[in-house]
Homo-oligomer: A and B are copies of this chain.
Amino acid sequence: MLRAIVTVMLKKGIFDPQGRAVHNGLESIGFEGVKQVRVGKQLEIDLNLTDRAEAKKMVDEMCDKMLANPVVESFSYEITEV
């Protein structure tokens, strides 16, 4: 079986209030030296496939169609064997 690990993040330059809140939160409990925090989603998608090329094509399409909104988000993924 193949597993696609997809990461969806807000595009660079788009304001990430969640990241900022976490950043402030970390500072307020005493963590120093944090420069920036960004928060995104990670999806683990297990596929009944064995062919990597096929999996890649499928995951690309999934991201385009549903997993990320290209207006605000960018995605990347990795495919691993499990």
Q: Which residues of A contact B (CB under 8 A)?
A: 1, 7, 9, 19, 22, 25-26, 29, 31, 33-49, 58, 61-62, 65-67
Number of copies of this chain in the oligomer? 2
**What's the Cα separation between A44 and B40 when bound, in Å?**
8
**What's the Cα separation between A19 and B66 when bound, in Å?**
13
B41/A42 in contact, CB under 8 A: yes
B43/A22 in contact, CB under 8 A: yes
**What's the Cα separation between A47 and B35 when bound, in Å?**
5
Given the known A-B contacts A42-B7, A42-B9, are A67 and B36 also in contact in the complex, defined by CB atoms under 8 Å?
no
- How many Å from the CB of A10 to the closest CB on chain B? 11
Residues of B within 8 A of A49 (CB): 33
